[in-house]
Amino acid sequence: MTTLASPFTSALRPFVALARTELLRLLRNRALLVPALLLPIIFFSLWGLPNARYTLGGVNAGRYMLVSYAAYSLISTALFGFGVAVAAERASGWWRQLQITPAPPALIFGAKITASLVMGLLSVLALCLFAGLVGHIWLGAADLGGVLLRLLPGMVPFALLGLTLGLLAPPDAAGGVANLVALPMLFASGIFVPLDTAPDFIRSLAPYLPAYHFGQLGWTAIGAKPAGAEWTHWVWLAGYAAVFLLTSLWAARRSEMRR
């Protein structure tokens, strides 16, 4: 019988085990995996490849839109692979099954976020491979590294937004609600189609949306004309992350009250 905690007090072992398990679950969930891998590739083929000979924001439009759809893929991974998945677990009881272990909720969330990051990374790599092999558009290691270095940490506010929606919406409606929020935001931020072609009111709305700043971080990483200093994008994303952290904590408390 152990009466005292063993010398093992580090959170590393439970964290690694949780993250590994969550990643396995994401990779085995075909309903999630197939769209996450295929949709960015399909969108890129429809809008990116045909425009590859033009210039956008001062760089090759093919490369620009490759970054756009990488951003799209990471945002949807954060929203759906994380937020909506948490909602489904809340309905299924798996979340409660983890809640009764000694793993603190922050550790469980951290592991889920890490698994989503890895999943996002995989979908971006698949997209880049497709763009290179099929469209002969290679980002190059340095540019890809720069894009990922900015976009992976930039996923945090979207993961927290997904979590809020997942906790607030009825479990089986969470996916639909997240789409309802994500799709207009992606259009209005220049991720789906470049803002140059968007109506004026959308162009004036865009700088207030998190996906716009997320996109800016990605595009400037491959040398596109910046729209403001880089730090302003980080401040916007951090601000949104803080807001969505508060809303998700509030939503978590609310769902706990309802059992």
Partner 1 sequence: MNTGLINNVVCFEGVSVRFGAVSALDNLNLELRGGELSALLGPNGAGKTTALRLLLGLTRPSQGTVRVLGGDPRRSEARRGVGAMLQDISLPPNLSVLELLRLYAALYPAPLSVNRALELSGLSDQATSRASRLSGGQQRRLSFALAVIGNPELLLLDEPTVAMDVQGRAAFWHGIAELRSGGCTVLLTTHLLEEVDRAADRVIVLSRGVIVADAAPGSVRARVGLSRVRFSSRLDAAHWHTITLPGDVLEGGPAGQFSIRTRQPEALVRAALDLDPALSDLEVSRASLEDAFLSLTGPDQAPTGALA
Q: Work out the number of other CB atoms within 10 angstroms of the CB of residue 152.
A: 16
Report yes or no: 131 and 177 within 8 Å, Cβ to Cβ.
no
Nearer to partner 1, 3 or 197 (CB): 3
Nearer to partner 1, 115 or 161 (CB): 115
- Candidates 34-42, 94-102, 119-127, 166-174; binding stretch for partner 1 (CB under 8 A): 94-102
Applying CB under 8 A, which of residues 17, 183, 229, 246 lies at the interface with partner 1? 17
Confirm or reject binding of residue 13 to partner 1 (CB under 8 A): yes
Applying CB under 8 A, which of residues 6, 200, 201, 231 lies at the interface with partner 1? 6
Interface positions, 21-50, toward partner 1 (CB under 8 A)? 21, 24-25, 28-29
CB of 114 to partner 1, least distance (A): 15
Confirm or reject binding of residue 114 to partner 1 (CB under 8 A): no
Q: In this structure, what token pair is assigned to residue 250?
A: 């509030």
Nearer to partner 1, 10 or 197 (CB): 10
Interface positions, 200-259, toward partner 1 (CB under 8 A)? 259
Confirm or reject binding of residue 2 to partner 1 (CB under 8 A): yes
CB of 217 to partner 1, least distance (A): 34
- CA distances to 65, 70, 172, 211, 214 from 200, in Å: 21, 25, 36, 18, 20
Q: Please, is 111 exposed, middle or buried when counting C-beta atoms within 10 Å of its C-beta (0-12, 13-18, 19+)?
A: buried
Helix (H) or strand (E) holding 200: helix 200-205
Q: In this structure, what token pair is assigned to residue 207?
A: 């700088």
Applying CB under 8 A, which of residues 40, 45, 87, 102 lies at the interface with partner 1? 102
For 90-115, what is the HEC assignment? HHHCHHHHHHCCCCCHHHHHHHHHHH
Applying CB under 8 A, which of residues 50, 58, 99, 142 lies at the interface with partner 1? 99
| Residues whose CB is less than 8 angstroms from the CB of residue 208 and which lie 6 or more positions away in sequence, other chains included | none
CB of 105 to partner 1, least distance (A): 8
Q: Work out the number of other CB atoms within 10 angstroms of the CB of residue 37.
A: 17
Q: Work out the number of other CB atoms within 10 angstroms of the CB of residue 243.
A: 15
Confirm or reject binding of residue 8 to partner 1 (CB under 8 A): yes
Q: Which residues bind partner 1 (CB under 8 A)?
A: 1-3, 5-6, 8-9, 13-14, 16-18, 20-21, 24-25, 28-29, 89, 92-94, 96-97, 99-105, 259
